[in-house]
Amino acid sequence: MTAVRSYSVLSGTTFPLVATANQSSLRKQQQQQQQQLLLQQQQKKQLFSSDSHSDFAPKKKEVSGDDDEALDMVKSHVEGNKIMLYMKGNPSMPLCGFSATVAKILQREGADFSSVNVLDYPAIREAVKKFS
């Protein structure tokens, strides 16, 4: 008599296996299933290439070390947007707890806001301190 059992293999996926008296055949089945799963995962990764053309890369505006230019930019941001969030990271991927909390609250309330990642622009980071 054979019994059907489920064994968890990589990422919580379960496969039905038939337990037999021969444990080596059971191990071979498990190894084959693991190899098939790994092959499927590798094939999925190949569908999405990380080699994107540079035209699609985010473009950053160069801010020189000139304090007046950075202050003018902050002033235009604040005047041009009802809510302007200077944060570490961006709303979809904040890089600190405070930034994550503020972005989550604004999104939950449905607020229309703009944001700047101050880690990418040290001059703007300093200008915000002076502006406030």
Q: Are residues 123 and 73 in the same domain?
A: yes
Residue 87 within any structural domain of the chain: yes
Its domain, for residue 70, covers: 61-131
One domain, residues 38 and 65: no
Give the whole-angstrom CA distance, residue 63 versus residue 98: 25
* Lowest-confidence pick of 5-9, 12-16, 23-27: 5-9
Same domain membership, residue 126 and residue 65 = yes
Tally of structural domains, the chain: 2
Identity of the residue numbered 73:
M
Statement: the pTM of the whole predicted model exceeds 0.75: no
pLDDT (tens digit per residue) in 77-123: 999 999 999 999 999 999 999 999 999 999 999 999 999 999 998 89
CATH, residue 104: 3.40.30.10
CA–CA dist 17, 28 (Å, integer): 11
What is the pLDDT at residue 22?
60
- Taken in order 76, 80, 84, 88, the sign of the CA dihedral is negative
Residue 4 confidence class, pLDDT cut points 50, 70, 90: very low
Residues paired with 15 in a beta bridge? 7
| Residue 15: both structure tokens together | 């496969």
Between 16 and 69, where is the model more confident?
Answer: 69
Residues facing 9 on adjacent strands: 13
Query: Three-state DSSP class for 20?
Result: coil
Is there a single domain that holds both residue 38 and residue 94? no
Predicted confidence (pLDDT) per residue in 26-84, tens digit: 778 888 888 888 777 766 655 555 566 666 666 666 666 667 888 999 999 999 999 99
Residue 30, Cβ density class (10 Å: 0-12 exposed, 13-18 middle, ≥19 buried): middle
